[in-house]
Amino acid sequence: MRLQAAAGFLVVLEVLLVFEFGTSSSVASNPLDPLKASDPGAAGLLRRTLAEVPNIVHFVSLSPDGSQPRQYSFLSWLSVYSAYHHLHPHRIMVHTNARAEESKWSKAMADIPGLEFVNVVPPQAAGGKTITHLAHQSDFVRVEALLTHGGVYLDFDAFPIRDMSPLRHLLFGVVVGNQAINFGKKPTGICNAVILAEPNSSVLQSIHKGMHARFDPNKWVTNLEVLAGVVQERHNEVIVLPHHAFHPFDWTKEGHQELFINSEPWDWRYTYTIHGFFSQLRGREHTEEGQYIKKYLDDPGTVFRGSSRFSQAVHSAMQGALEAGHLQKSDLVHSNDAL
C-alpha cells in the first residue's frame, strides 16, 4: 500500500508540475484552483487512499418529456467516438429518457463498441422547486450517474484528444477544470462539461445534496455555484486543472474564431479535451461568421480535411474511425470546397 500510495503521489506531483510550469502565462490564477491554493502537502497526500476513477464514460441526452426521439448529429457521434478512440473505456453510457431517432449518425453511434443507452427518469423538482430547463436536469443526472458508477462525464460538445489515464489515477476522487476567457487572462470559474469522479465520491455527495437544497430555477448557473462552493470548501479533495486541460478555448466570438477558423498550429500537449461551447455558438448562427462555422461543422468531409484547430484536434479520432470501418469514405465526399 505504501508503494502504491507513493506511486500515486508521484503522478499527482507530475501533473501539478506539468500544469504549473508547462505553459507559462496560460496558467490562470484562481482561488478555487488547488494548484494555486493551499494543499495538504506531501505527507497529507501520502496518507490518502489511492482514488480510482473507473474507465467508464458518461453522456446525458434528454428530451422535454421523453416522447420526442433524440436525433444525434455527426458532432454528437464524433464526441462519443473520440472518447472511444482516445480513452479506450470499458463502457460508454448514454443516459437518456428518449429513444434514438432512426438516423444515420444515431445508428453510427449505436454501433460504437461498448456503447449502451441507459434509460433515466430526469428529476422534475429540487428543493420544492420545479426543474424546467433540460440543462438543469442534465446537471442532476450527470452527478447521479457518477455517484453510482464513477467514471468520466462529457458533454456532447466536449471532444477528448488524448488518454485520460493519468487523471484517473490521481490521489483525488474528483477532477474538474476551470474555464477562462481570452486564453486564461480572465478566469470565470469551474465548468462541469468534463468531470472525472470515483464512485460514491463524498465530494459529489456534498455537491448533490447542495444542488437539491439550493436549486434556483431562475439562475442558469445555479448548480455551478454549488459545485464551486463545495470545491472551495473541500479543495484538498479535488483537483481543479487550469483551463487549458479541458476548455482551452472559450465561448466568445473570439474564442470560436480561434478554434473553428484559425488554422495556426496549437500546442496540445497539456490538453485532454476541447470544449466547443455549441450552445453559445448556436446563438450566433444568424451572423455571417456563425453561418460559416455551422456549415463547416455540419460537414464531416470539411472537418476531416480542414486545417482549423478543431480539425487538427479531432483528425486522429476520425482517421481511426475510418481505418476501423466506423466511418466510411462516402461519409467524407460531400465536402464544402468553398470553406
Contact 105, 75 (CB under 8 A): no
Contact 299, 260 (CB under 8 A): no
pLDDT of residue 336: 58
- Provide the terminal-to-terminal Cα distance of the chain, rounded to the nearest Å: 56
pLDDT of residue 276: 94
Give residue 30's pLDDT band: very low, low, confident or very high (50, 70, 90): very low
Higher-pLDDT residue of 191, 286: 191
Q: What is the average pLDDT across 283-307?
A: 90
Kind plus residue range of the DSSP H or E element containing 319: helix 309-324
Q: What is the average pLDDT across 30-46?
A: 36
CA atoms within a 13 Å half-sphere pointing along the CA-CB vector of 323: 7
Whether the pLDDT of residue 48 is over 50: the answer is no
Percent of the chain with pLDDT over 90: 61
Higher-pLDDT residue of 11, 194: 194
- What CA–CA distance (Å, rounded) separates 32 from 227? 11
Q: Look at the alpha carbons of 38, 40, 42, 43 in this order and tell me if their dihedral is positive or negative.
A: positive
- What CA–CA distance (Å, rounded) separates 262 from 13? 34
Count of CB atoms within 10 A of residue 12's CB? 20
pLDDT of residue 334: 62
Residues 6+ apart with CB under 8 A from 199: 54, 146, 147, 148, 149, 150
- What CA–CA distance (Å, rounded) separates 59 from 68? 18
Give residue 288's pLDDT band: very low, low, confident or very high (50, 70, 90): confident
Higher-pLDDT residue of 189, 149: 149
pTM: 0.85
Backbone torsions φ then ψ of 237, nearest 5 degrees: -110, 5
Helix axes 202-214, 134-149, angle to 10 degrees: 150
C-alpha cell at 296: 463547416
Count of CB atoms within 10 A of residue 284's CB? 16
